[in-house]
Amino acid sequence: MIHEIPLERRTLHGHFSKDLPPILTIDSGDTVAFACLDAGWHVTPTDKFEPRDAGLDDGHALIGPIEIRGAKVGQTLEVWIDEVRVGPWGATFAAGWPTPLNDYLGLGEGETCVLRWTLDAAAGTGRDEQGREVDLRPFAGVLGMPPSEPGVYPTGPPRPCGGNIDCTELVAGTRLFLPIPVEGAFFSAGDGHARQGDGEVSQTAIECGLDRLQLTLCIKDEPQLDTPVAWTPEAWLTLGFDEDLDTAAAIATRAMLDLMERELELKRREALGFASVVVDLRVTQVVNGVQGVHAVLRHDAIRMA
């Protein structure tokens, strides 16, 4: 069953909390589809959605929460990313505000560079005001659920239960697996990106609204996870998040060894050896308060002779 969710005040929120009432309750295996604003709540390149609640809507403009009947803590939410279609415009912001990276580069002060993009969903291209063109690879930056503890949580940092993952691999045709932290799951999504490089070094991608994001949500008993895992047509991914990049890499690697034991029936020490040969560690993002790393194992990396 496909549930079409309207874009309106009732369906939008800008924080995570398990106490937010769900906008919709669905069954496992149902599909949801909706349009969403860009992360900054823009309805036009210069105008923002109103009304907004100070404090509660300071984060990304998200659609949700969506409750899934029967979802229990400790189960796994499988998110099928069926369709991601960008809106007609987007923007990228760079420099002019203090971050550790901006300050290191000498770009933490002064003017902010704004690249304004015209997006062509059918052609899969974006063009800036100077006529420079890039291919699009759209995805939703935020896919996740609230922490299990009560309270109001910002949307910026990714967590083991998902959120602002900002992984460029999570395009249409992929699947994301998340550990469920709360009864009912209470899943939310948004933060359209038309194109992003690994790392998202300016702190923004081509930020854009999405004309349509279609997701199928399924509850699974296995595998039991403590960090996100993703499947793409080319590879398995495991993701790690931490304030320290080395620790984020270690979490992603540990999750990859778990996956190699589970999917390839390798022994733990064998998995580490093969990981050193065929698994790539990539920096997902370095700008969301915690660092993100994803480990990548191509499906054709290990073959029987």
pLDDT mean across residues, the chain: 97
Whether the predicted pLDDT of 305 surpasses 90: no
Q: Which long-range contacts (CB under 8 A, 24 or more apart) does 21-24 make?
A: 21/65, 22/64, 22/65, 22/66, 22/67, 22/184, 22/186, 23/63, 23/64, 23/65, 23/66, 24/66, 24/67
Beta bridge mates, 76: 179, 220
Give the pLDDT mean for 216-240: 98
pLDDT at 304: 81
On whether the 2-91+120-220 domain is CATH 2.60.120.580, my answer is yes
Domain span(s) for CATH 3.10.28.20 in the chain = 234-298
Q: What is the CATH number of domain 234-298?
A: 3.10.28.20
**Residue 219: pLDDT above 90?**
yes
Range 8-21 average pLDDT: 97
Q: Where in the chain is the domain with CATH 2.60.120.580?
A: 2-91+120-220
| Cβ atoms of residues 51 and 164 within 8 Å | no
Q: How many residues are listed for the chain in this entry?
A: 305
How far is residue 35's CA from residue 210's CA, in Å, rounded to a whole number? Answer: 5
| Residue 13 to residue 57: CA distance in whole angstroms | 6
- Within the chain, where are the H helices? 100-104, 245-264, 268-278
Distance CA 247, CA 256 (A): 14
Q: Indicate the Cα dihedral angle 11, 13, 17, 23, nearest 10°.
A: 0
pTM value is 0.96
